[in-house]
Amino acid sequence: MNNDQLIATLATNARRAARTLATSTYEERQQALLAIATLIEKKEDEILRANSNDVQRERAAGMNESLLDRLTLNPARIAGMANGARKVAQLSDPLHQTLRHRVLDNGLELTQVSVPFGVVGMIYEARPNVTLDAAVILLMSGNAALLRGSSSASQTNQVLVEIMKEALTTTPISPEVLQLVPSDDRDTVRALLHARGLVDLVIPRGSASLIRTVVDESLVPAIETGAGVCHVYVDKHADMEKALPILINSKTQRPSVCNAAETLLIHKEVATSFLPPALTALHSAGVTLHCDELSGKVASSLSIPYIPATESDWSTEYGTLEMNVGVVDSLESATEHILKFGTHHTEAIVSESQESISRFIALSDCAAVMINASTRFTDGEEMGFGAEIGISNQKLHARGPMGLEAMTTTTWIVKGDGQIRK
């Protein structure tokens, strides 16, 4: 069986099994997620053994520390995955919700309701927690899932899917709604992207190159997610006591993720007062600094090593403890820099001026704007979605963290009493 035939078989099985989701009740889908959460916790040791094999293999192969961090599971992360499933289970039912209702002059009654997409393909890298997050969000929103993780997490993903399928055997929902696409052959990605008519939607989650490949090559409708060149802009009206911890948290709390900040921009009027503590704190936290001319001079005066920032640095998503630092002439200059080098993900402003905040919001074309808060809050769980299937940077269908509602489309139900069109 070639890869096209394999994907066709998996998608066909998933669509057939999805009929059990289409007729399921909200309570039955809740039960499914709670069963998954319980079994994930019960089989923690099995998950950790598989994950340890993946991590050891990839470390020996030279995987960088940022990706190893994304790959690695521990008891706390597994508990977080289970708790995420429980949180999703407690959210309102996204299906069969009435979005619009009206009665026409001819007596026809129109109702627009939310329904599942059908079969959704997930293509993602390194992070095995996405296997669980995606599965529970898709299940709760009535969708079958084709899960194509990376070969680096192959053993972990295999165990997670087996556990979730086992949990579903205790429910009215068919375990076949979850299908793991083999990751040992890169061509399975191409086959999934070309499965138009068999797969209703694909969502990439990972590096900028993965996302670009999916968006450029997919014949199946795709949602563009994730690339995160995020900025923290310290305005001339900033409260410096707020600015420093916001900056440090945005960069260092977990640098490998897409909502970590990659660039600090400082208004020139506060640069001389803010740069010394900011550069000192970043350097103490182990951050490698890429500085423009003015911030580099301040770093030199403090005997802090730095790398002169290049044009390409400003558009780099480091995913590690590295950060660009630049001084700008105005708020408008900051937003122009962000427009040129950003990825429309998350931008933060630190300011006590409502005028500055309003202008920054108006000029920031992005999925999320943080006002006096860390960029790290652009996250489904942090924003009350329980978990997220990804963060959309695009404008059509969904934008920002995508939870249950983003995984539905709509159907118009037209009720008549014998009307015919004249």
Domain pair 3-223+402-415 / 230-377, same fold: no
For the chain, give the percent of residues with pLDDT over 70.
100
Q: Mean pLDDT across the stretch 169-190? A: 96
Rounded to whole angstroms, the Cα distance separating 130 from 134 reads 6
Phi/psi at 101 (nearest 5 deg)? Answer: -150, 130
Domain 3-223+402-415 has CATH 3.30.1360.100: no
Read off the pLDDT band of 64 (50, 70, 90). Answer: confident
CB atoms closer than 10 angstroms to residue 34: 17
Provide the Cα torsion 301, 306, 308, 310; round to 10°: -150
Phi/psi at 239 (nearest 5 deg)? Answer: -85, 110
Phi/psi at 256 (nearest 5 deg)? Answer: -80, -10
Q: Please, what is the end-to-end C-alpha distance for the chain in angstroms? A: 53
Task: Please say if the pLDDT value at position 399 is more than 70.
Answer: yes
What's the confidence (pLDDT) of residue 400? 85
Q: Positive or negative, the Cα torsion across 414, 416, 421, 422?
A: negative
Task: Please say if the pLDDT value at position 161 is more than 80.
Answer: yes
Query: Tokens standing for 363?
Result: 């000029």
What's the confidence (pLDDT) of residue 60? 96
pLDDT 10s digits, 102-158: 999 999 999 999 999 999 999 998 889 999 999 999 999 999 999 999 999 999 999
pLDDT 10s digits, 215-258: 899 999 998 876 789 999 999 999 999 999 999 999 999 898 88
Task: Please say if the pLDDT value at position 44 is more than 80.
Answer: yes
pLDDT 10s digits, 246-300: 999 999 998 988 899 999 999 999 999 999 999 999 999 999 999 999 999 999 9
Average pLDDT along the chain = 94
CB atoms closer than 10 angstroms to residue 419: 12
Alpha helices in 292-415 (DSSP H): 293-301, 331-341, 354-363
Domain 230-377 has CATH 3.30.465.10: no
Task: Please say if the pLDDT value at position 36 is more than 90.
Answer: yes
pLDDT 10s digits, 198-221: 999 999 987 778 888 898 999 999
Q: Mean pLDDT across the stretch 300-324? A: 95
Q: Mean pLDDT across the stretch 302-312? A: 97
Task: Please say if the pLDDT value at position 29 is more than 90.
Answer: yes
In the β-sheet with 201-205, what is the strand arrangement from edge to edge?
178-180, 144-148, 119-124, 201-205
Residue that wins the pLDDT comparison between 215 and 43: 43
Contact 278, 264 (CB under 8 A): yes
278: exposed, middle or buried (Cβ count in 10 Å: 0-12, 13-18, 19+):
buried
Query: Tokens standing for 148?
Result: 């194509």
Determine the 3-state secondary structure of 180 from DSSP: strand
Domain ranges across the chain: 3-223+402-415, 230-377
What's the confidence (pLDDT) of residue 66? 77
Task: Please say if the pLDDT value at position 185 is more than 70.
Answer: yes
pLDDT 10s digits, 327-370: 999 999 999 999 999 998 999 999 999 999 999 999 998 989 99
Rounded to whole angstroms, the Cα distance separating 152 from 222 reads 24
Report how far Cα 168 is from the mean position of its chain's Cα atoms.
25
Task: Please say if the pLDDT value at position 321 is more than 70.
Answer: yes
Query: Tokens standing for 235?
Result: 């305005």
